[in-house]
Amino acid sequence: MKTPAKISRIPLSRQIKDYILHGISSGDLSPGDKIPSEAELARHFSASRMTVNRAVSELTVEGRLNRVQGLGTFVAEFKPLAPLFEIRSIAQEITEQGKAHSSIVLEALRGPADKREAGRLEVPEGTEIFKLQVLHLSDERPIQLEVRLVVPKFAPLFLEQDFTQVTPSDYLQKHVMFSEVEHKVDAVSAGPEIGRLLEIDENAPCLRLVRRTWLGAEIITYVQLIHPGEAFRFTGRFSGPQAVRDIPC
């Protein structure tokens, strides 16, 4: 595996986790493959065995690695946990309506989290995060503004994706294990900037879905999905007390 450039401000245990996750995400490591031994990783990163053990242990708890006594540590088969809500792709929703989905990437960068962003992800202010804004269109008509924050360690290759070809939600669901999802829906006025992007009056009502996704106690991603109130609706299909399906995102 290629070693990502080291960043001195990032703890060594995080660098080691990102290195292993990068190998998995890039396909260099497949389910069942053996990862380098802790001794090899310690030499590679000039780290203590305790630091390496911590990184490997955390990835094991997160379900990305399996330790086999006497044999080593292997890449686990990816088995994402099903959330209460089935999250559907905006692209799929538009296609099923017989329309064409397209998207415009407005912003895609890695940078320090400001106070508000840090609070939304529950990380220290200044933590390096991914920031993404995408405008989704239905038959070339703006239908959804997506404003997303992602913690890089969970999806190291996130910003390398072409989000005009795959939606951020689809990519994350396919590549990142998660254990809990929170949805909040409210009504907001568009305001000047959102009104300009969605091509509606700044006083027009919008529906806003705010979603946070966790793995254990850590937040993976925070996203706001904002839609013109007159052009979009949220629907749910109940199939018993344990599940709610077909919630568009």
Quote the CA–CA distance of 221 and 127 in Å, as a whole number. 14
Answer for the pair 232, 141: CB distance below 8 angstroms, yes or no: no
Bigger pLDDT: 231 vs 185: 185
Residue 249: pLDDT over 50: no
> Residue holding tokens 């925070």?
222
> HSE of 107 in the Cβ direction (CA atoms, 13 Å)?
12
Q: What is the structure's pLDDT at 236?
A: 47
Q: What is the structure's pLDDT at 84?
A: 39
82-223: in CATH 3.30.70.590 = no
Residue 11: pLDDT over 80: yes
By C-alpha distance, which of 195, 198, 135, 143 is closest to 167? 135
Helices 12-26 and 49-61: crossing angle, nearest 10°? 50
Residue 234: pLDDT over 80: no
Q: What is the structure's pLDDT at 246?
A: 38
Give the amino acid at 157.
Answer: L
Output the six-digit token pair for 235.
């629907």
Residue 26: pLDDT over 70: yes
Candidates 1.10.260.40, 3.40.50.720, 1.10.10.10, 2.160.10.10; CATH matching 12-75: 1.10.10.10
Quote the CA–CA distance of 158 and 136 in Å, as a whole number. 18
How distant is the alpha carbon of residue 223 from its chain centre? Answer: 9
Q: Name the segment(s) of the chain with CATH classification 1.10.10.10.
A: 12-75
Q: Name the segment(s) of the chain with CATH classification 3.40.1410.10.
A: 82-223
Q: What is the structure's pLDDT at 153?
A: 92
Bigger pLDDT: 69 vs 245: 69
Q: What is the structure's pLDDT at 178?
A: 83
Q: 132 pLDDT band (50/70/90 cuts)?
A: very high
Residue 76: pLDDT over 90: no
